[in-house]
């Protein structure tokens, strides 16, 4: 081969290597470049949330989720789908949820009813026989008649209260305790028409989509027409604030779930031993601006918006837990005290955040119109919580129910500010109550969001490493080209 041909080939190789470098280095940085700046409909920026979550929230919320009070969640995974005939449950082994044996549940959790976690409600000598606990929980027989009547009124109010979620009946024989630490949220392989129908129903029927918009909102839709990409979302700006917020909450929840699946993906399985870890290809497929035509960064920004909403709810509900009457009861006195101290510490951090979302800007129009819109908002979200019973994968259903209930509890808190301000210090309140199920869902759902943002940071690091590796790869290519010239 002539020297000229070799030089030409070397020149082409250098050009190809340069093109490879540009391509590989551009894609990793573009996600980071577009998921930054101030979020829409609030005055907070992404970098502030990243720093706050990394250094203040994430280490503590992770520790809280490991406490007995928050790791055991009672849920009914056998409720039938209320909207369509089910096509059977997923048979993939990773979809399976392992219920927790009764013997493993702390006696203080299983011996009291769902919303009795107050010290006065748990003032008993022995709680070993949970079946003997009354419907109102294990209440000491020495309580005055006035106190008994207060608890009866409390329970009656709690049963009739307007919730943002369809709550499971914890007294149902089908309801079981699940150890969340032993059933982590991760990729299960659940996909196809069943998963598509769930998300399609959520987006198309409950997200206030205008009739003039024909393209499916569901990111899982197989074909979304010609109107793809970031420009599609001009319709969103035409909605009122409340309806925009609703869509962003659902989109943010979907993004958070997808991040968990990408970060805990089944990479390989050797001799029955699975290896779980981050899947870069899956992350890019769901969030890369090129592969998603600019929609990926929007989805991730909605995750940050959802984080802000739940962060705000935690800061608003802090007075409820700061009362001396509230005891996160499991039966282990020392651990219960430590758990409450840790929870209050997290609440102090949430209150210190300087750029909270202002929920007072919502439902602020004329009283009649605002009340009607708020009820529509509530019913749409409650409907979504019912759709979770249509998920065919048990593990996906578990975490879907928990996270929608957690968000529903956060919304309940945000729109109960007056009731929370009027809470009595040493007695139950008829105006505002949280069940244990709601408390566990609220903190675990926020823990999932905190983890999502942390995982997003990890993916950015991995993307940066892949970009650095591309430089090394091209450098070796240049070396070979130079040697061929000699």
Query: Which token pair is 158?
Result: 């709690």
Inter-CA distances, 49 with 37, 219, 250, 283, 463, Å: 11, 25, 19, 21, 20
Has 186 been labeled as part of a binding site?
yes
Give the C-alpha separation, 49 to 56, whole Å. 10
Query: Do the Cβ atoms of 305 and 248 come closer than 8 Å?
Result: yes
Q: Which of 90, 100, 165, 396 is catalytic?
A: 396
Counting Cβ atoms within 10 Å, is residue 88 exposed (0-12), middle (13-18) or buried (19+)? exposed
Q: How far apart are alpha carbons 298 and 247 in whole angstroms?
A: 12
**Chain CA centroid to CA 482, Å:** 53
Q: Which residues of 281-293 are buried (b: 16+ CB within 10 A; e: fewer)?
A: eebbebbbbeebe
Tokens of 133: 């606990």
Contact (Cβ atoms closer than 8 angstroms) between residue 75 and residue 398: yes
Give the closest residue to 453 by CA, choosing from 52, 27, 71: 52
Q: Which two tokens stand for residue 366?
A: 């004329």
DSSP category for residue 232: G
- Alpha carbon 42 to chain centroid, angstroms: 20
> What is the end-to-end Cα distance of the chain in Å, rounded?
14
Residue 393: active-site member: yes
Separation CA 248–CA 236 (nearest Å): 10
Q: Is 29 annotated as a binding residue?
A: no
User: Annotated binding residue at 251?
Assistant: yes
- In 155-221 the beta strands, taken as DSSP E runs, fall at 176-179
Backbone φ and ψ of 269, nearest 5°: -140, 115
- Tell whether residue 163 is among the known ligand binding residues: no
Catalytic residue among 90, 95, 262, 393: 393
Among residues 253, 251, 331, which one has the least CA distance to residue 292?
Answer: 251
Annotated ligand binding at 199? The verdict is yes
Check if 165 is active-site. no
> Tokens for 47?
């970098």
User: What is the spatial distance between Cα 178 and Cα 70, in angstroms, rounded to a whole number?
Assistant: 11
How far out from the chain centre does Cα 449 lie?
5
- DSSP-assigned letter for residue 117: -
For the record, the structure tokens of 448 come out as 């999932």
* Contact (Cβ atoms closer than 8 angstroms) between residue 316 and residue 357: no
Q: Which residues are annotated as a binding site for FAD?
A: 186, 188, 199, 251, 254, 286
Catalytic residues: 393, 396
């Amino acid at each position: 081969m002539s020297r000229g041909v070799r030089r030409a080939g070397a020149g082409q190789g250098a050009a190809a290597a340069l093109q490879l470098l540009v391509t590989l280095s551009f894609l990793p940085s573009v996600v980071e470049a577009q998921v930054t700046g101030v979020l829409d409909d609030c005055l907070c920026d992404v970098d502030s949330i990243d720093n706050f979550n990394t250094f203040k929230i994430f280490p503590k919320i992770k520790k809280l989720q490991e406490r007995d009070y928050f790791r055991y969640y009672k849920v009914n995974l056998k409720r039938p789908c209320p909207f369509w005939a089910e096509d059977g449950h997923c048979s993939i082994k990773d979809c399976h949820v392992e219920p927790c044996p009764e013997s493993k549940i702390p006696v203080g959790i299983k011996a009291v009813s769902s919303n009795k976690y107050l010290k006065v409600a748990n003032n008993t000598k022995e709680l070993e026989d949970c079946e003997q606990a009354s419907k109102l929980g294990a209440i000491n027989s020495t309580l005055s008649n006035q106190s008994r009547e207060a608890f009866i009124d409390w329970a009656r109010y709690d049963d009739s209260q307007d919730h943002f979620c369809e709550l499971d009946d914890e007294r149902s024989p089908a309801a079981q305790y699940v150890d969340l630490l032993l059933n982590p949220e991760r990729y299960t392989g659940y996909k196809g028409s069943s998963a598509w129908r769930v998300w399609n129903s959520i987006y198309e029927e409950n997200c206030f989509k205008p009739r003039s918009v024909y393209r499916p909102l569901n990111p899982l839709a197989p074909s979304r027409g010609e109107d793809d990409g970031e420009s599609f979302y001009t319709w969103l700006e035409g909605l009122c604030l409340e309806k925009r917020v609703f869509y962003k909450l659902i989109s943010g929840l979907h993004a958070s779930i997808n991040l968990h699946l990408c970060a805990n993906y089944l990479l390989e399985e050797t001799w029955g031993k699975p290896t779980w870890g981050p899947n870069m290809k899956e992350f890019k497929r769901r969030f890369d601006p090129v592969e998603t035509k600019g929609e990926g960064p929007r989805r991730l920004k909605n995750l940050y918006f959802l984080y802000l909403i739940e962060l705000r709810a935690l800061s608003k509900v802090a007075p409820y837990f700061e009362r001396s009457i509230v005891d996160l009861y499991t039966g282990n006195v020392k651990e219960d005290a430590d758990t409450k101290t840790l929870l209050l510490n997290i609440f102090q951090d949430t209150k210190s955040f300087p750029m909270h979302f202002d929920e007072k800007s919502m439902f602020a129009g004329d009283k009649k119109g605002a009340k009607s819109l708020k009820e529509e908002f509530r019913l749409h979200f409650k409907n979504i919580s019912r759709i979770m019973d249509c998920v065919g994968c048990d593990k996906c259903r578990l975490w879907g129910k928990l996270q929608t209930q957690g968000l529903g509890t956060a919304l309940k808190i945000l729109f109960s500010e007056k009731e929370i301000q009027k809470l009595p210090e040493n007695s139950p309140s008829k105006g505002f109550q949280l069940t244990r199920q709601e408390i566990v869902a609220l903190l675990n759902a926020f823990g999932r969001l905190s983890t999502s943002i942390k995982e997003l940071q990890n993916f950015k690091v991995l993307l940066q490493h892949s970009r650095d590796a591309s430089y090394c790869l091209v450098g070796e290519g240049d070396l070979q080209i130079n040697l061929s010239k000699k």
